[in-house]
């Protein structure tokens, strides 16, 4: 059945909004018809820089990644080219008068794309400008424009117009904006930022409804390290100095982006922004102070305040007093906000209490989410800091530590604090003292829905968080904790009390020093419970249980619906998980008992290739993290790593994947394209498909049926590329040793 395309525009708009972060689908919607195009164009160009380097693959997921560096590069160049042409059209008469372009030479743009811009992501913009700068081989020399670099106005009607001289035109506009900056950036690693300056002035002049500015390096790390996409990061940008401690590399200037609030028309452009993300390590004091003068409507603010005594950022060592100045500027920015509801604060080793006092005094009735990341607390005063934030709904402490040398009276804290709307507590990967956790659970809402207990390194006979949760909170939907053997019964009680609401259960002993926990009996007792809404079940760490206990938990005939309806099943860092466990999971999927699992995540080194391949066939999304960890890419973007069976085969070339395919085709011809595809997808030496000439065989023997022969192979199969002065493919022969064969072509 073909759906009609002439929907009501309101329906089309809702469809487009649901796809606002899906670049590929948005492009497809543009091409349906004029109505769909008109409803899509502003959404697509709302956050073009973030969409440009977005990847469909999520963390621990590589199956949906179809990224290509060449494709990203082409899109980046087209994006910057579109904005540059918009600037040229705005200054067309000046450029014609200066003989930089001819009349009618500039192409007409169908839309005014800058009007749609709502989000500026500085890192992605900087990266796209680098692509544009290098591909067009632009140079902004100190010499004045000469006649050879300019174009003449006279041309015949039947001749094609000459190409636009981007370098001279951009330099001319930059010089008119500010010759000092032009001279400062010329002939440096930051020369490309002359384009950045021209673009920023254009955006500040054209955009009147900007909603977000992001100078975010945390997003960069997420894309480059944790995301399975190998094609996200290619160059270091101004936000992220990739010198790796080598002093010979000249850093790129970031000051040009911190001058955004001082640009002409910046007040009109920035006064409506709702979200500011600034996690770069550079000193941001002046930036905060300037932007606080007219940015008063922030909903979300994410800031990283940190320094290192051993690392230099852009040639300036950050000291104690500059960090205090940065905190003071941040307090001023927070003070002037009228709608701040979400604050994310990273590190902040100095004057943290001053920031929290500012929140308590001026944002207590508005702040709903407080996320503290990488903090180090010397006491429990953080509880006092949130005393008056009665509107707080979600408290997150990620990777935080406490160093408490004295005992606190929990009853005293409980009498002083109460947060009636706090229904989400996330202490992910934080080591929490029992006094803090006890007090936090006692002052939060009885409608608590989300609880991550974090890492508990204590055994308190008076207070146990799992027992307390089981008796006080019946509406828990998400629960994550570490689990000691004596707590198994508490867990069973908690899950039986929350059985109608629980949607996610994660047991995590990965980073704790507990004794190995045998949860077989606990799983057996849970097998008869009706987990109607359970979608995520994860076991992380060396929990002991039999494969049959696991099978009985996944499918139990005592349940009304027998099998669990899971979206994700996860077993991480569990050395007990072997092929037998995986076979039981697959058997449960094959049996007609209602068990479903869309995603299976496993981290173990005890799975065979046959089971891995079969599981890939049976499960919609299978992720073997142990094998994926062998494929973690190097910081060098020219390293490509493939691994299977505890081996890694590396191609260490200054080439990307598409370029390797081109070289393969040129060396051996298109007749072998099928072999090239198999070579390129191989994950170990034994999986590399090769063409073998007949003279490389010996002891050829015809078998007794058909035309099947067997023979010995002189060279043996490829194992890896040998990295030495001679080079060559390492091969496994019948002598069970690695030989270097220099006769074979490196690529085929």
Give DSSP secondary structure letters for 608-627.
Answer: -HHHHHHHHHHSSEEEEHHH
pLDDT above 50 (res 742): no
Torsion of CA 152, 157, 162, 168, to 10 degrees: 40
Q: How far is CA 226 from the centre of its chain?
A: 6
**Sequence-distant (≥ 6) Cβ neighbours of residue 470 within 8 angstroms:** 490, 491, 493, 494, 497
**Sequence-distant (≥ 6) Cβ neighbours of residue 219 within 8 angstroms:** 121, 123, 277
Confidence of residue 313 (pLDDT cuts 50, 70, 90): very low
pLDDT above 70 (res 660): no
Give DSSP secondary structure letters for 78-144.
Answer: HHHHHHHHHHHHHTHHHHHHTTSS-TT-SPPPSS-GGGG--EEEHHHHHHHHHHHHHHTT----SSP
Q: How many residues does the chain have?
A: 748
E strand residue ranges, 389-513: 394-398, 401-402, 424-426, 450-452, 478-481, 504-508
Q: How far is CA 438 from the centre of its chain?
A: 34
pLDDT at 4: 53
- Per-residue pLDDT reduced to its tens digit, 88-116: 999 999 999 988 888 888 988 889 999 99
Ranges of each domain in the chain: 643-741
Average of per-residue pLDDT across 36-58: 84
Owner of token pair 């073909």? 2
Residue that wins the pLDDT comparison between 291 and 235: 291
Angle between helices 193-206 and 69-90 (to 10 degrees): 60
Q: pTM score, two decimals? A: 0.76
Owner of token pair 């198999």? 678
Classify 278 in phi/psi space as left (phi over 0), alpha (psi -120 to 50) or beta: beta
- Per-residue pLDDT reduced to its tens digit, 522-572: 999 999 898 989 999 999 988 999 999 999 999 988 777 889 999 999 988
Q: Is 198 helix (H, G, I), strand (E, B) or coil?
A: helix
Q: Is 732 helix (H, G, I), strand (E, B) or coil?
A: strand
Whether the CB-CB separation of 673 and 748 falls below 8 Å is answered with no
Poorest-confidence range of 40-49, 130-139, 366-375? Answer: 130-139
Residue that wins the pLDDT comparison between 386 and 661: 386
CA dist 223 to 58, 226, 228, 372, 707, Å? 9, 6, 8, 21, 52
Please state, in angstroms and rounded to a whole number, the distance separating the CA atoms of residues 123 and 664.
34
Q: Is 424 helix (H, G, I), strand (E, B) or coil?
A: strand
pLDDT at 353: 92
Please state, in angstroms and rounded to a whole number, the distance separating the CA atoms of residues 84 and 50.
18
Q: Is 194 helix (H, G, I), strand (E, B) or coil?
A: helix
Write the DSSP symbol of residue 455. B
pLDDT at 646: 28
Please state, in angstroms and rounded to a whole number, the distance separating the CA atoms of residues 578 and 737.
30
pLDDT at 24: 83
Owner of token pair 């001679």? 726
């Amino acid at each position: 059945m073909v759906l009609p395309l002439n929907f009501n525009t309101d329906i089309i708009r809702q469809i487009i909004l649901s796809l606002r972060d899906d670049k590929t689908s948005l492009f497809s919607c543009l091409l349906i018809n004029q109505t769909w195009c008109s409803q899509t164009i502003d959404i697509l160009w709302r956050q073009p820089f973030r969409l440009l380097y977005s990847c469909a693959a999520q963390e621990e997921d590589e199956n949906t990644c179809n990224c290509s560096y060449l494709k990203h590069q082409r899109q980046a160049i087209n994006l910057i080219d579109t904005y540059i042409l918009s600037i040229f059209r705005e200054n067309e008469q000046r450029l014609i008068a200066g003989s930089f372009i001819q009349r009618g030479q500039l192409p007409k743009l169908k839309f005014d794309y800058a009007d749609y811009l709502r989000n500026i992501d500085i890192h992605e913009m900087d990266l796209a400008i680098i692509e544009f700068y290098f591909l067009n081989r632009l140079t902004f020399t100190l010499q004045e424009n000469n006649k050879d670099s300019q174009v003449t106005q006279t041309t015949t009607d039947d001749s094609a117009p000459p190409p636009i001289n981007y370098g001279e035109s951009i330099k001319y506009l930059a010089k008119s904006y500010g010759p000092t900056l032009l001279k400062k950036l010329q002939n440096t690693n930051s020369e490309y930022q002359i384009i950045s300056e021209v673009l920023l002035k254009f955006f500040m002049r054209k955009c009147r409804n900007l909603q977000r500015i992001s100078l975010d390096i945390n997003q960069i790390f997420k894309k480059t390290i944790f995301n399975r996409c190998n094609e996200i990061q290619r160059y270091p940008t101004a936000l992220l100095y990739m010198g790796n401690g080598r002093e010979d590399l000249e850093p790129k200037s970031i000051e040009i982006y911190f001058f955004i609030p001082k640009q002409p028309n910046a007040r009109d452009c920035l006064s409506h922004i709702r979200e500011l993300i600034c996690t770069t390590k550079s000193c941001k004091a002046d930036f905060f102070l300037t932007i606080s003068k007219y940015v008063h409507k922030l909903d979300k603010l994410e800031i990283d305040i940190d320094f290192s005594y051993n690392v230099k950022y852009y040639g300036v060592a950050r000291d104690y007093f500059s960090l205090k100045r940065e905190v003071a500027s941040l307090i001023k920015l927070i003070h002037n906000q009228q709608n701040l509801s979400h604050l994310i604060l990273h590190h902040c080793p100095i004057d943290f209490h001053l920031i929290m006092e500012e929140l308590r005094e001026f944002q207590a009735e508005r702040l709903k989410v407080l996320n503290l990341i990488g903090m180090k607390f010397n006491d429990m005063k953080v509880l006092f800091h949130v005393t008056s934030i009665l509107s707080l709904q979600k408290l997150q402490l990620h990777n935080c530590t406490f160093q408490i040398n004295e005992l606190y009276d929990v009853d005293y804290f409980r009498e002083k604090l109460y947060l009636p709307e706090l229904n989400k507590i996330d202490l992910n990967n934080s080591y929490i003292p029992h006094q803090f956790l006890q007090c936090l659970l006692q002052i939060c809402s009885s409608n608590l829905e989300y609880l991550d207990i974090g890492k508990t390194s204590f055994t308190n006979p008076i207070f146990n968080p799992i027992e307390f949760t089981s008796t006080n909170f019946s509406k828990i939907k998400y629960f994550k904790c570490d689990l000691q053997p004596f707590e198994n019964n508490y867990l069973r009680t908690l899950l039986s009390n929350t059985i109608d609401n629980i949607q996610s259960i994660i047991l995590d002993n990965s980073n704790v020093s507990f004794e190995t926990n045998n949860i077989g009996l606990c799983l057996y007792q849970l097998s008869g419970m009706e987990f109607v809404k359970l979608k995520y079940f994860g076991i992380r760490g060396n929990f002991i249980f039999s494969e049959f206990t696991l099978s009985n938990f996944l499918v139990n005939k005592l349940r009304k619906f027998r099998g669990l309806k899971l979206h994700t099943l996860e077993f991480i860092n569990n050395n007990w998980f072997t092929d037998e466990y995986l076979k039981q999971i697959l058997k449960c999927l094959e049996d007609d008992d209602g068990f479903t699992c869309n995603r299976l995540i496993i981290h173990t080194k005890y799975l065979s290739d046959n089971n891995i391949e079969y599981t890939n066939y049976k499960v919609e999304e299978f992720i073997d993290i142990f094998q994926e960890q062998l494929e973690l890419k190097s910081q060098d973007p020219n390293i490509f790593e493939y691994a299977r069976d505890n081996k890694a085969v590396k191609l260490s070339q200054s080439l990307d994947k598409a370029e390797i395919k081109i070289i393969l085709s040129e060396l051996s011809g298109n007749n072998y394209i099928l072999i090239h595809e198999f070579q390129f997808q191989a994950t170990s030496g034994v999986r590399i498909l090769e063409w073998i000439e007949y003279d490389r065989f010996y002891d050829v023997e015809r078998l007794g049926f058909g035309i099947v022969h067997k023979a010995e192979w002189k060279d043996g199969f490829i194992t890896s590329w040998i990295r030495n002065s001679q080079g060559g493919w390492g091969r496994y022969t019948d002598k069970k040793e690695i030989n270097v064969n220099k006769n074979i072509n490196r690529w085929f």
